[in-house]
Structure 1
Amino acid sequence: MTDAADTTRPTPATDAPAVRAQGLHHVTAISGDPQRVLDFYVGVLGMRLVKRTVNFDDPSAYHFYFGDETGTPGSLFTVFPWPTGRKGRLGAGQVGETALAIPAASLGWWLDRLSAHHVPHELPQRRFGADGETVVTFTDPDGMRLALAADPRAAALPGWSAPGPDAVPAEHAIRGVYGVTLWVEDAEGQAALLTGPMGWRRVASDGMTTRFVADDATLGRIVDVRDVQGFWGAADGVGSVHHVAFRVGDAAAELAMRSAVAATGLQPTTVRDRQYFESVYFRAPGGVLFELATDGPGFLIDEPLETLGEALRLPPQYEQHRAAIEANLPVLGTTEEVRA
Structure 2
Amino acid sequence: MKLRGQHHISSLTKDAKKNLAFYRNVLGMKLVKKTVNQDNTSFYHLFYADEQGTPGTEVTFFEIPNLAQKHDGTNTINEISLRVSSVAALSFWKTRFERYQVTHNEVQTMNDTAVLPFQDPEGHKMLLVAESDLDDKREPSSPEEIPNDYNILGLGPVRLKVQYVEPTSDVLTDVLGFTKKGEYKNGEHRVFVFEADRAGLSGQVHVEEDKTSPKAREGRGSVHHVAFRVETEEELQQWVKRIEDEGFQTSGFVDRYYFRSLYFREPNGILYELATDGPGFAIDEPVDQLGKSLSLPDFLEPNRKEIEAKLQPLQT
What band does the TM-score fall into relative to the shorter chain? over 0.9
Q: Cα deviation per residue 1:240-288 (whole Å; 9 max; x = unaligned)?
A: 0111101111112112222222222222221111110001100012211
Residue in 2 that maps onto 1:338: none
Return the match for 2:280 from 275, 280, 298. Answer: 298
With normalisation by structure 1, the TM-score equals: 0.88
Please state whether the residue corresponding to 2:181 is helix, strand or coil: strand
Residue in 2 that maps onto 1:264: 246
- What pairs with 1:239-254 in structure 2 (closer than 5 Å)? 239-254=221-236
Please state whether the residue corresponding to 1:287 is helix, strand or coil: coil
Alpha-carbon separation, structure 2, partners of 1:39 and 1:193 = 37
1:148 and 2:128 matched = yes
RMSD: 1.5
Confirm or deny: 8 A CA contact 2:34 2:295 kept in the other structure: yes
1:114 and 2:114 matched = no
Confirm or deny: 8 A CA contact 1:180 1:223 kept in the other structure: yes
Alpha-carbon separation, structure 2, partners of 1:122 and 1:163 = 24
Q: Cα deviation per residue 1:3-39 (whole Å; 9 max; x = unaligned)?
A: xxxxxxxxxxxxxxxx121111100000111110000
Confirm or deny: 8 A CA contact 1:67 1:75 kept in the other structure: yes
The alpha carbon displacement at 1:216 in A equals 2.8
4+ residue runs over 4 A deviation: none
Please state whether the residue corresponding to 2:102 is helix, strand or coil: coil
Confirm or deny: 8 A CA contact 1:278 1:294 kept in the other structure: yes
The alpha carbon displacement at 1:222 in A equals 1.1
- What pairs with 1:4-153 in structure 2 (closer than 5 Å)? 19-104=1-86, 105-128=88-111, 132-153=112-133
Residue identity matched to 2:146: V
Judge which range, 85-94 or 108-117, deviates more. Answer: 85-94
Confirm or deny: 8 A CA contact 1:37 1:81 kept in the other structure: no
Question: Structure 2 vs 1, CA of residues 81 and 154 (structure 1 numbering), >3 Å: closer, same or farther?
Answer: farther
Return the match for 1:214 from 181, 187, 196. Answer: 196
Confirm or deny: 8 A CA contact 1:20 1:197 kept in the other structure: no
Alpha-carbon separation, structure 1, partners of 2:151 and 2:275 = 25
The alpha carbon displacement at 1:83 in A equals 2.1
With normalisation by structure 2, the TM-score equals: 0.94
Residue in 2 that maps onto 1:169: 147
Q: Cα deviation per residue 1:85-116 (whole Å; 9 max; x = unaligned)?
A: 22222222211000110111311111111111
Residue in 2 that maps onto 1:9: none
Residue in 2 that maps onto 1:277: 259
Alpha-carbon separation, structure 2, partners of 1:330 and 1:115 = 31
1:204 and 2:210 matched = no
- Where does structure 2 lack aligned partners over 5 or more consecutive residues? none
Confirm or deny: 8 A CA contact 2:240 2:253 kept in the other structure: no
Q: RCO higher in 1 or 2 (8 Å CA, sep ≥ 6)?
A: 1
Please state whether the residue corresponding to 2:175 is helix, strand or coil: coil
Confirm or deny: 8 A CA contact 1:103 1:155 kept in the other structure: no
- Where does structure 1 lack aligned partners over 5 or more consecutive residues? 1-18, 335-340
Alpha-carbon separation, structure 1, partners of 2:198 and 2:252 = 26
Identity of aligned residues (%): 38
Confirm or deny: 8 A CA contact 1:161 1:169 kept in the other structure: no
Return the match for 2:208 from 226, 232, 235. Answer: 226
Alpha-carbon separation, structure 2, partners of 1:219 and 1:310 = 31
Residue identity matched to 1:119: V
Residue identity matched to 1:150: A
Alpha-carbon separation, structure 2, partners of 1:92 and 1:258 = 27
